[in-house]
Structure 1
Amino acid sequence: MKNIAIVFEDAEALVIDKPAGLSIDRPRKGGPALEDHFEQLRLGFQRDPVPVHRLDTDTSGCLLLARNPKALSRFGRAFEERVVEKRYLGVLAGVPDQTEGTIELALSKISSAEKGWRMIAAKKGKPSVTHWRMLQDVGGHALLEFLPETGRTHQIRIHALAGLGTALLGDPVYGNGKGAPRTMLHSAALTVPRAGKPPVAATAPLPADFAALGFTDG
């Protein structure tokens, strides 16, 4: 079992660079899951660390794990209160008309027997806000920085499609799934404030599959 890179560690928090393809929960059909790595990630502690938030299976990058129940509660509250700063990088299956902007689209979940469930932009949905700017344009694809204010399920993926008119490269749900072996989304940085302590602050380097497309983070 391949070791997972740890990009932040202290007595109450771990931030890992989650590989693309690793599920937070064990998939119903089986396959790799985060719990396969708990023994490595205990780092001498008796408790398994617990993920505080979610990343899609395809999404790589910064994932915060709490090392005790009190920390889990505090970190969870920080996400609920929207004081966590999150920076994502994503590759669009095209190039947007503008170079930066803010997407404000309410989101709602729908499901059907043939397509399963997905998120859609809907006026009666939950408010969702994502700030974005284009960093690079290579070979007809654009590397974007996404700064989400809210943390809705699939928020960046549906905002790319419904707000920018172009899905993320490789996205099989909101795009055509072509051009990349996975949905090209990466959690590049995470900052979680803590009362009386320095914040949890971590960055995860640009993945190899982003670099293979000709992109750099900077």
Structure 2
Amino acid sequence: MILHTNADFYIVAKPSGLGMHTEGDTLGIIALLEAQTAESLYPVHRLDKETSGLLIVARSSEAASIFGRLFETREIEKFYIALGGNKPKKKQGMIQGDMAKGRNGNWLLKTSQDNPARTQFFSHGTGTGARLYILKPLTGKTHQLRVALKSISAPILGDKRYGGAPAERLMLHAMSLRFTWKGDAMEFLLPPSAQADFAPLDWSQFPSLTTPWEYDWPVVHS
């Protein structure tokens, strides 16, 4: 699970189906990592249980505090990949709005903008009946990306909660992280092709996925 070791943090590959924290007799990823490393570890962000991909896990409370500030000031770039509906209301741009819980416990995207969830995205056709979405969240709300794609009529495949078409798993993967740590530029990539249970597309037709930060992301001011 550990892909990269730094004196201050680990970069970890979380599989789909593994929760962040222990549930009953099922250990979460943090407990598993602590058993593996014999260290007390500090998660600095989270992924849904069904989502696979890259996690930053701090090795000290001091490092966790620094990461908290970096996330707060949007100095950590996160890029996700998803397979969703093939006929979205728009194929690229920004999805933003306040989020609120509906009566059934699901999150909804509202038109108000008091404290909005904000997600930039591009998409590509795949020729499979599903569309490929490259997502860059600018905020970190619960179920943000899942709700964002549902809001443009493109729910993620395998997302039973938000109306996605059936699939073996939730087709959402945290593909890349990019940030500066103590003066050093850090770039980490875990391509979807590395996930045996992710969609078996011909990923060679999407070479831009190896450097998702080089998409023409518009600059967004707070």
CA distance in 1, matches of 2:155, 2:148: 8
Equivalent-residue separation in structure 2 for 1:87 and 1:126 (angstroms): 21
CA deviation map 1:177-207 (0-9, x unaligned): x42122210000012323x421343111212
CA distance in 1, matches of 2:94, 2:133: 12
Check the 8 A contact 2:92/2:121 in 1, yes or no.
Answer: yes
Q: Deviations over 1:75-120 (max 9, x none)?
A: 011112222101000000334254321112221234x4xx4x2211
Question: Equivalent of 1:51, from 43, 48, 65?
Answer: 43
Report the AA paired with residue 52 of structure 2: S
- State how far apart, in whole Å, the 1-side matches of 2:108 and 2:90 are: 23
- Percent identity at matched positions? 30
Secondary structure (helix, strand or coil) at the match of 1:210 reads coil
Q: Distance in 2 between matches of 1:95 and 1:18?
A: 30
The residue correspondences of 1:28-177 to structure 2 (distance < 5 A) are 30-34=25-29, 35-40=31-36, 42=37, 47-96=39-88, 98-110=90-102, 112=103, 115=104, 117-122=105-110, 123=112, 126-162=115-151, 164-176=152-164
Unaligned runs of 5+ in 2: 208-222
Q: Give the deviation of 1:39 after TM superposition.
A: 2.1
Shift of the alpha carbon at 1:32?
A: 4.1
The one-letter code matched in structure 1 to 2:129 is G
1:21 aligns with 2:17: yes
Is the 8 Å Cα contact of residues 51 and 172 (structure 2) preserved in structure 1? yes
CA distance in 1, matches of 2:34, 2:125: 37
Tell me the distance in 2 between the aligned counterparts of 1:89 and 1:131: 12
In structure 1, give the amino acid aligned to 2:177.
L
1:42-86 Cα shifts (integer Å, max 9, x gaps): 2xxx52222110100000001000011110100011112222101
Whole-Å Cα distance in 2 between the matches of residues 125 and 167 of structure 1?
24
CA distance change for structure 1 residues 151 and 69 in 2, over 3 Å: closer, same or farther?
same
Matched residues in 1 for 2:187 and 2:40: separation?
A: 21
TM-score (norm 2): 0.82
Q: Does 1:181 align with 2:168?
A: yes
Question: Does 1:197 pair with 2:183?
Answer: yes
